[in-house]
Amino acid sequence: MDPSDLVTVTPYRDGPYVIRGPFRMFDQAGNEIPVHRTAIALCRCGRSRMRPFCDGTHRTFSFRAPSDPEAWPPTDACRQADGSTGLSQTARRPGAPVPSGNTTPEASPPPDETGADEASEHSDDPRALLAVLTRVHQARAQLEHALTPPLAAGAYTKLALAEPLLQAADRLLESIVAGTLSHERAASHGHNPVGTHDLDACRAVVQAALRSMPASPPEDRRVAHLRSLLEHATEALA
Amino acid sequence: MSFVLARPEPMRAALPAARGPWTRALFDALQEPPGAAIALPEVAAIDLLADDDLQLALYCCYELHYAGLAGVDERWEWDPALLRFRAEMEGRFERALCATVPTTRPEETLNVGETLQTLVAEDDGPPLSRFAETQASREQMLEHVTHRSAYQLKEADPHSWAIPRLRGAPKAALLEVQFDEYGGGRAERMHSALFAGTMRALGLDATYGAYLGRLPGITLAGVNLMSYFGLHRRRRGALVGHLAAFEMTSSTPNRRYGNALRRLGYGQDATLFYDEHVEADAVHENIAAWDLAGGLATAEPDVAADIVFGARALLALESRWAAHLLDAWRAGRSSLLHPFVVSTDG
């Protein structure tokens, strides 16, 4: 067969697998999955709402994955790089339960504070930092998920107040992952670290987002939780 | 005259009413055969990107290159007086864009695909699609679709101007996207045809240009931006960057617009356009960002900065347009120049 007739599969960086046909798709019971176009995108982040196809959701939570193969077996350097991918993976379950806790943030500290404290004390320890980030990422993913499906207008208005927090969490996660891991990733994957954020600028964004939140305590526990985690994370970076 | 059609073709927009000195001068001229000069009005636009008069005049000048205008002599398309008149408006448009859109920094041209990802991720435009999904009324969705008709009834056409101006891999990438936009060989699957289907399902008039007279300057500016980039070969980088950013910001909002119409009780005939875009643009955004924009930056490093400019210009104008709609709706006003009187027969 002429190699140019073969189907190609391209993992796009931070995005889906693009399959260029001609090809047919079947589910495991043998039912054909209709394909309407010559090239399709298959979900790689796991959070699409029309799996197996990509619907662009990876953009809403800063999914990270290289286009070229990740190094295997991992070296010390790229174990950190894997950590950033794993971070996205751990937080991606849309149905993950919201951490239990009181509905008002000041009534009792969120259950995750131990991780934040650990990072405050050892902020130069990348593993402790990653623990904080994982929690921020999970809280962010839960909030994002709560914002996505059609909601009653009242609930939406309440949750939409957290929009600056979501953006701040994105900046924080991207900045720290880029700041702590870009050199290792650049070395192991040949990525260009141009475009990564400066940590100071990121802290300023997060603090501005926290300041822009209404003075009265947010009613939604997911909002309160994310706010609390962000506050701890910025302290850990200070 | 034999070249003036007795009856307007459905595909040609009719000239709407003039709105000010630019449209008056242009529309008066277009009533006649070409040949005479078009006097330049002496006006200082205060907010040019949202100038209802100038943006409509520019839109109509560009329309001569697409479908033509009903009752207008087709030779106007390349008439030197008209081109001079258009160039004056384009100069002002370009200066207003440069005053709004930041200059590309040198380091942003090193990896254009990555720069585009960062720009899109950091874009903090007003949450129009979220508002639509959760709160917009039927009347507001009709307005949204009406605004979009200025582009979507000729979807993909402005970016096709880039085809003869590219070579090799970026050209192949552009055509991979465009082939899909044009229905993959099936006229009824063309995205412009799907959009017309949405308009009809909503009870709107899907005739090309039917609502041109209702559209404010900021809406027309978004389409003029593509036509301006598309009709000037030197802006091919910006045109490609515009397409990449357009595709990269399309999937999730289109899912939300589809949800908005479902929430309001519309069926698949209304939502097919949006549902199709969720799936299609999830493919296109990767090809457009990495293979097309990134590929062009590699092939022609001189235009890399303009690729980034085009992406930024799109995000800036989309953001202003979204703010215009949301501001109007939150104030209880129509976002169109002439609001609909909506019947309730559904």
In this prediction, residue A78 carries a pLDDT of 43
In this prediction, residue B102 carries a pLDDT of 94
In this prediction, residue A153 carries a pLDDT of 54
Best residue of B112, B272, B279, B290 to probe chain A, by most A CBs closer than 10 Å: B279
For residue B263, the chain A residues in CB contact (below 8 A) are 150
Q: A59 and B252: CB-CB below 8 Å?
A: yes
Q: Which chain A residue lies closest to B110 (C-alpha atoms)?
A: A194
Residue A10, SS3 per DSSP: strand
Higher pLDDT, B242 or A110: B242
Query: What distance in Å separates residue A155's CA from the closest CA in chain B?
Result: 10
In this prediction, residue B300 carries a pLDDT of 96
Q: A150 and B263: CB-CB below 8 Å?
A: yes
Give start and end residues of each alpha helix (H) in B154-216.
157-160, 168-181, 191-201
In this prediction, residue B89 carries a pLDDT of 97
Token digits of residue A67: 């286009």
Phi (first) and psi of residue A19, to 5 degrees: -105, 125
Which residue in the set A13, A16, A194 is minimally distant from B110, CB to CB? A194
Token digits of residue A22: 């001609």
For residue B285, the chain A residues in CB contact (below 8 A) are 15, 56
pLDDT in tens, B32-67: 999 989 999 988 768 999 999 999 999 999 999 999
Residue B224 clears pLDDT 90, i.e. is over it: yes
In this prediction, residue B10 carries a pLDDT of 60
Which residue in the set B107, B133, B252 is minimally distant from A56, CB to CB? B252
In this prediction, residue A202 carries a pLDDT of 66
Residue B192 clears pLDDT 70, i.e. is over it: yes
Q: Which chain B residue lies closest to A57 (C-alpha atoms)?
A: B252
Q: How far is CA A134 from the centre of its chain?
A: 9
pLDDT in tens, B113-140: 999 999 998 888 899 999 999 999 999 9
CB within 8 Å of chain B, chain A residues 50-89:
50, 53-57, 59-60, 62, 67
In this prediction, residue A138 carries a pLDDT of 75
CB within 8 Å of chain B, chain A residues 93-152:
147, 149-152
> Radius of gyration of chain B from Cα atoms?
20
Query: Are B218 and B53 within 8 A, CB to CB?
Result: no
For residue A15, the chain B residues in CB contact (below 8 A) are 285-286
Higher pLDDT, B183 or B3: B183
pTM flag (> 0.90): no
Which residue in the set A53, A150, A152 is minimally distant from B133, CB to CB? A150
Q: How far is CA A97 from the centre of its chain?
A: 17
In this prediction, residue A29 carries a pLDDT of 93
In this prediction, residue A62 carries a pLDDT of 78
Residue spans of chain A under pLDDT 70: 74-130, 132, 145-162, 174-203, 213-220, 236-238
Which residue in the set B110, B127, B282 is minimally distant from A163, CB to CB? B127
For residue A39, the chain B residues in CB contact (below 8 A) are 176, 180, 283, 287
A194 touches chain B (CB under 8 A): yes
Residue B247 clears pLDDT 80, i.e. is over it: yes
The ipTM assigned to this model is: 0.81
Which residue in the set B113, B252, B259 is minimally distant from A57, CB to CB? B252
pLDDT in tens, B141-161: 999 999 999 999 999 999 999
In this prediction, residue B280 carries a pLDDT of 92
In this prediction, residue A157 carries a pLDDT of 60
Q: Taking the alpha carbons of B38, B43, B49, B55 in that order, is the dihedral positive or negative?
A: negative
Percentage, residues of chain B above pLDDT 70? 95
In this prediction, residue A147 carries a pLDDT of 65
In this prediction, residue A195 carries a pLDDT of 36
pLDDT in tens, B265-284: 999 999 999 999 998 999 99
In this prediction, residue B331 carries a pLDDT of 96
Q: Which of A21, A3, A6, A14 is nearest to A68 (CA)?
A: A14
Ramachandran bin of B185, using left for φ above 0, alpha for ψ from -120 to 50, beta for the remaining angles: left
Q: A18 and B283: CB-CB below 8 Å?
A: yes
Average model confidence (pLDDT) across chain B: 93
In this prediction, residue A108 carries a pLDDT of 37
In this prediction, residue B171 carries a pLDDT of 98
Q: A12 and B290: CB-CB below 8 Å?
A: yes
How confident is the model over B7-27, as a mean pLDDT?
Answer: 86
In this prediction, residue B342 carries a pLDDT of 58
Token digits of residue B254: 């289109």
For residue A156, the chain B residues in CB contact (below 8 A) are 130, 134-135
